[in-house]
Amino acid sequence: MVSREDFGQSKLCACVLGAAIALSVSLLASQRAAAEESFSGPTFRKGMWRFVRTLELVSPSNGRQKLLEREMTRCVDPTQAMKATFSSPSIGNCHSSRPEKISNRYVFSNRCDYMGPVSTVITVLSDEAYTEVNEVHGQAPRMDRVVARRISDCHEDRAALGQPAAAPTEVSRDVDQETADGEPL
């Protein structure tokens, strides 16, 4: 049989535990909101974007050798991807530097990602176009360049406007023509 005193203590413990859980959830939510607010990178318009990614090996003797050029069109919000880039955590002994904003460029002298230590320059041309250049230095130096341009609204946006939507495409190809750094296609 449970005494009235034991029941009161259990009720008090439950209230204290509930308050502690509520406080923890509140702190986590405020930390997440602070992280969102602390994002000081570029913002872009959601929509149908065309990305052209070029991967090159870089060597002093041969210069640059293009390994891959890949074109992709898809409905995205590039700002979300930028938030991931700007919150690049330290990985092992690799410590990411904070980006430095110089005019319309965001420069990371060292950013840690799956490729290892990388220097990154993001050039913002508008809220509808940017380039990102990632350079890996070391045993196998390489450069990964992405030229991105918003080309239209997303399918669901077009459907709401009563317009036909084109299907997203992805094309891999080898192309000898180069685009100038910072110049979208």
For the stretch 168-178, pLDDT in tens is 445 444 444 43
Token pair belonging to 114? 């799956």
| Mean predicted confidence (pLDDT) in 41-48 | 95
CB atoms < 10 A from the CB of 119, how many? 16
Q: Report the chain's mean pLDDT, rounded to a whole number.
A: 74
Statement to judge: residues 80 and 125 lie in one domain: yes
Statement to judge: residues 31 and 72 lie in one domain: no
pLDDT higher than threshold 90 for residue 74: yes
What residue numbers bound the domain in which 90 lies?
Answer: 47-173
Write down the pLDDT at residue 54. Answer: 97
Inside any domain, residue 158: yes
Inside any domain, residue 133: yes
Statement to judge: residues 13 and 81 lie in one domain: no
Q: How confident is the model at residue 111 (pLDDT cuts 50, 70, 90)?
A: confident
Inside any domain, residue 180: no
Statement to judge: residues 1 and 61 lie in one domain: no
User: How many percent of the chain have pLDDT more than 90?
Assistant: 38
Residue scoring higher pLDDT (34 or 139): 139
- Rounded-to-10 torsion of CA 134, 136, 141, 142: -20
| Mean predicted confidence (pLDDT) in 16-23 | 46
Q: How confident is the model at residue 95 (pLDDT cuts 50, 70, 90)?
A: confident
Statement to judge: residues 20 and 71 lie in one domain: no
Statement to judge: residues 32 and 54 lie in one domain: no
Inside any domain, residue 183: no
- Number of structural domains the chain divides into: 2
Write down the pLDDT at residue 76. Answer: 96
Give the closest residue to 75 by CA, choosing from 183, 164, 165.
Answer: 165
Among 17-26, 56-65, 81-90, which is the least confidently predicted range?
17-26
Statement to judge: residues 24 and 73 lie in one domain: no
Cβ-Cβ contacts under 8 Å for 149 (sequence gap 6 or more): 49, 50, 128, 129, 184, 185
Write down the pLDDT at residue 77. Answer: 95
| Mean predicted confidence (pLDDT) in 32-57 | 82
Write down the pLDDT at residue 26. Answer: 45
Statement to judge: residues 18 and 55 lie in one domain: no
Inside any domain, residue 154: yes
Statement to judge: residues 62 and 112 lie in one domain: yes
